[in-house]
Amino acid sequence: MPEQLVYFADPMCSWCWGFSPVIEAARSRFGDELRVRLILGGLRPGTTEVMDEAAKRMIREHWDHVHEASGQPFDHAFFEREGFVYDTEPASRAVVAVRRRDAGAALAFLKHLHHAFYAENKDVTDRETLCVLAAEFGLDRETFAKSCDDEETISETRRDFAIARRAGITGFPTLLAGSNDEGYAVVTPGYQSWQKVERLITAWLERRRRPAQPATSTADGS
């Protein structure tokens, strides 16, 4: 398998929304050398508990930090919602449904969901909302809805979650570089600015291109 960037993200991760311009810039800058592979990490899949006021305060703090670091917009009307359940699996499954149809469109659809949730206060846990957003993205609603419910889509989504767990990914966004043959290196285990990420990827590529040094002989010539 060729070298690639592996991006672990979640549609309902605020730091991933902050990282959205960074991964877009990385694909633009390094796309000819490093394909970006998106894996849905599974932030809170299957959550059933309603958000309480303490959870809202914690999330609001995250949003404020993300906005300060990245400049990405947030609609704080979200915190007026009552009875919201922060289940990230439906939105993750929606991204996988798009990825199964067109792998190259998955990152763009992830960004579409991020913007809808964070900047427009759209409920991306809601099936009908996801279908509307898919239609806005240019997809056929009925085909998209069927794909989201498809057993293969569900299984692939959960495989993504399992890949993240096996890789020891504990937070999002996380960006790796490498290949299955040569192994992977962590570029960033969390949000970083594009300037820093560009330097890190460039340094990694330069190390990979550096020719291996020949083994030195010992004093006895062995």
**pTM for the full predicted model:** 0.93
| Half-sphere exposure for 110 (CA within 13 Å, toward CB) | 32
What the chain holds in terms of domains, given with CATH numbers, is 4-209 (3.40.30.10)
Asked whether the beta carbons of 65 and 22 are under 8 A apart, the reply is no
pLDDT in tens, 16-66: 999 999 999 999 999 999 999 999 999 999 999 999 999 999 999 999 999
Given a cut of 80, whether residue 216 has pLDDT beyond it is no
Show the tokens assigned to 77.
């009307």
pLDDT at 208: 86
pLDDT at 1: 65
Give the CA diameter of the chain: 78
Token pair 């792998």 in the structure block, residue = 103
Given a cut of 50, whether residue 219 has pLDDT beyond it is no
Which H or E run contains 9?
strand 4-9
**Nearest-10 Cα torsion for 205, 209, 210, 214:** 140
pLDDT at 214: 52
Show the tokens assigned to 112.
């579409």
Given a cut of 50, whether residue 137 has pLDDT beyond it is yes
